[in-house]
Amino acid sequence: MTRESLRSTASPAVDVAGSAVHKAARRYVAATAGVAALGTAWCVAYLTVGAGTEAFAYIFVPVGGALATASVYHMSRSGDLDPVAGRFWRAVLVAVAMITIGYGWLAVDMLTHAAQAHVRTMPVPAAACAAIGFGIAIWAIGRVPIVAAGGVEWWRMLLDRTIAFLGCAAVLWYTGLAPMLSAREPWSPQAMVLVGLGFMAAVGAVTKVSYVAGGPIDRAAIRLLAASGGVTAGIVAVLAVRFGYDAAVPAQAIVMPLTPVLATLGVAAQWRANLGFRRDTARGGMLLPYLAVAAVDVPLIALAFGAPLHWPGRVVVIAAVVVTVLVTVRQFIAFQENARLLRNARVQEERLQYEVSHDGLTGLANRALFRDRLTSILATTGRASVLLVDLDDFKTVNDLLGHGVGDRLLVSIAQLLRAEAGNDGLPVRVGGDEFAVLLTGADADPEELAGRLLAALDRPISEYRLLVQASIGIADAVPGATVDSVLRDADVAMYTAKQRGKASFVRYVDGMGEPVLAHMQLGGELRRALDDDEFRVVYQPIVRLEDNRVIGVEALVRWHHPTRGVVSPAEFIPAAERTGLIVPLGRFVLRETARQAAAWLSEFGPDALQEAGLNVSARQLHDPDFVSNVAAALAESGLPCERLVLEVTESAVLRGQQVSRTLYELDRMGIRLALDDFGTGESSLSLLRAFPAEIVKLDKSFVDGIEIDDGQPAAAGARQAVARAVIQLAHALGLDTVAEGVESAEQAAVLRELGYILGQGYHLARPMTAEGVSRLLAHQQAMAAADR
């Protein structure tokens, strides 16, 4: 972000604060620069015309230092600093103040001994103050946070910083400090110690800043602080070697006053960073060790070209050897780390390849690997068989026992497939509860393997000891077959096995897919029919057997196909169940029935029609939105809850806890529940106590033949036994009863004698449109009025 964009997004308060900060920073920089300029002007005048005394040269450093100390103090008290940055700058404040005190002491000493200024050395206490200041500065720089690292990376960074420090220090030693020690006019130990400390602070700061991760302390500020010590110390060293004691005046009046200037520039950089004007970005010190190696070679090259090998040169040689050793260690660590990274990359690649080609739950090959293997086989030998294995009613396991148990069952199935397929087959999890086996062995018999799988599934499996069945479709790769054609044939064979009663296997033969395809196409047409409003609701009256009075209706759905005419529910309802379209279809029937029943109630009054019922499938009862859909249909139509009857088959009632919870919730709403096709299930009697039903509907199979009089009372009694038992049980439990499938007057008479009050069937009334029911109710109302 540019400075201009930062200013455009800043608040007015920040703008005001930023303006004040910039003014203060500029004042301090200008003041220290002015002091440096005065020192330069005085030095020129002194060297040319002899203005003043040499002792004046020593006053410019403490004056500039005092200004620099004030700038650090002002910035540290501004309240804009991060706690880490505040700790650093407070240490810098102490360091600058101590250095200023030391050089102020020197200035006082020189002014009071002006006559001996040319040969007088820095007092030891003054040098100690300055040295303490440099030490605090080095300590503060050492505490600056760097890039977070751990393990091998920490050791690599430590080696890099050590190499950089030694390389830079060797150069400064050879070119700066060592010549001062061996100069013909050697400087005082105090001066050389301070120059050395300045070098150390500069090298430490340069090394440190290369690893600072853009934290609260500005990198540019650290660089300027490093320059304030290192640059001036380097120039002073060169002047000392070149000019001896004569360099003291220009060093004190021109060079060293630059230190406060650079320090105040560092303060200004930190001020700018506090306000968001940070220009530097965090960069790793990747090049610094290599630059340090190159730097340490410079003195070696000088020695190689004839420079005398004195003890300062030997120190450089030793430093070069140490740096070389450290570089070797670093490269070894880098080699080890790279080798580890390569190993990890290979392991990661292998793991990713495995995950891409295998199922995460069972560990079997997945669909992608299955298709790749089958494609390779078809492109070479072309001899392969595919077994498609689909678990029967696996959803019931998830619904009743939970998905955790279902997952463990899938893992057990995978283990079974591995064991039975052996070396001749590749077991695969295609998806969900569908598996496959790709057989490639020359002697492998797919039917024999399918038989073994079905036999193994006859025994309980998994730690939960569950019995599960499967339908298996077998398809062979024929010449010219493709992956999709083989899988389609196996899928058709598996679906055929399910249609034949499940728990079996079927091998694909030509022509087998036509009825399956027709059934699948029927599902697609159902979706279109729902969208095109091709379904109609008709109503079959439920009448009182005594006087044929209509007391209720059962809603039935009919499909008016645009080309095939009326399609039988026996044909499209199973397809709707299989595809899940029974849910939106049932929702349509529910809303239409509630709307029409409310309309009849409004038109003919509360006594004309007591109830309107419709069939509900197990799939609908599993729908989590079913109860809310019923409530919405009643609310939209205004039909009272007690006027709606939902008919449920015995098999639907036995479909698990979700269905049971839904039925009890509907019962609490006041909706009447009817047990449809009663007597055909396995638990009819127990259901009457466990299921909140109010109506029992006797199945048509027990009404057929109930009227036959063959002169054998025992045979007639046997035919009527179930109907008699149901009516007696219903009366005992306080339930209403409806006899279904009444197709003759004789059947109606027998049922009436047995105690049945209500019935429905073609003899009583055929299914009819809503208009037909309206005419029937109107006629019935007119007859009742005439009787009065």
Spatial contact of 513 and 492, defined as CB atoms under 8 Å apart: yes
Where would I find the H helices in 605-712?
618-622, 626-637, 650-653, 657-668, 684-690
Q: Of 171, 201, 164, 158, give the one whose Cα is nearest residue 288.
A: 164
- Indicate if 592 belongs to the active site: no
3-state class of 714 per DSSP?
helix
Q: State the Cα–Cα distance between residues 166 and 330, nearest whole angstrom.
A: 14
3-state class of 705 per DSSP?
coil
Spatial contact of 385 and 421, defined as CB atoms under 8 Å apart: no
Structure-token pair, residue 534: 């091709």
Spatial contact of 354 and 369, defined as CB atoms under 8 Å apart: no
Among 740, 746, 753, 771, the active-site one is 740
Instruction: Count other Cβ atoms within 10 Å, centred on residue 375.
Output: 12
Q: State the Cα–Cα distance between residues 431 and 434, nearest whole angstrom.
A: 5
Q: State the Cα–Cα distance between residues 689 and 683, nearest whole angstrom.
A: 11
Q: Is 635 exposed, middle or buried (0-12, 13-18, 19+ CB in 10 A)?
A: exposed
Q: Is 236 exposed, middle or buried (0-12, 13-18, 19+ CB in 10 A)?
A: buried
Three-state SS string over 240-298 comes to HHHHHHHHHHHHHHHHCCHHHHHHHHHHHHHHHHHCCCCCCCCCCCCCHHHHHHHHHHH
Q: Of 639, 638, 632, 645, give the one whose Cα is nearest residue 672.
A: 645
* Cα→Cα distances 486→164, 371, 375, 539, Å: 68, 10, 10, 47
Residue bearing tokens 């990376």: 153
Three-state SS string over 669-686 comes to CCCEEEEEEECCCCCHHH
Spatial contact of 766 and 543, defined as CB atoms under 8 Å apart: no
3-state class of 533 per DSSP?
coil
3-state class of 132 per DSSP?
helix
Q: Of 509, 409, 511, give the one whose Cα is nearest residue 460.
A: 409
Length of the chain: 788
Sequence-distant (≥ 6) Cβ neighbours of residue 253 within 8 angstroms: 39, 40, 42, 43, 46, 56, 57, 60
Structure-token pair, residue 51: 């203005």
Sequence-distant (≥ 6) Cβ neighbours of residue 303 within 8 angstroms: 309, 313, 316, 317
Please give the backbone phi and psi of residue 185, each rounded to the nearest 5 degrees, phi first.
Answer: -120, 80
Q: Is 215 exposed, middle or buried (0-12, 13-18, 19+ CB in 10 A)?
A: middle
Amino acid at site 455: A
3-state class of 191 per DSSP?
helix
Q: State the Cα–Cα distance between residues 359 and 595, nearest whole angstrom.
A: 49
- The arrangement of strands across the sheet holding 505-507 comes to 425-431, 434-439, 385-391, 470-476, 505-507
Structure-token pair, residue 33: 């620069």
Q: Which residues of 472-502 are buried (b: 16+ CB within 10 A; e: fewer)?
A: bbbbbbeeebebeebbbbbbbbbbbbbeeee
Give the active site residues: 740
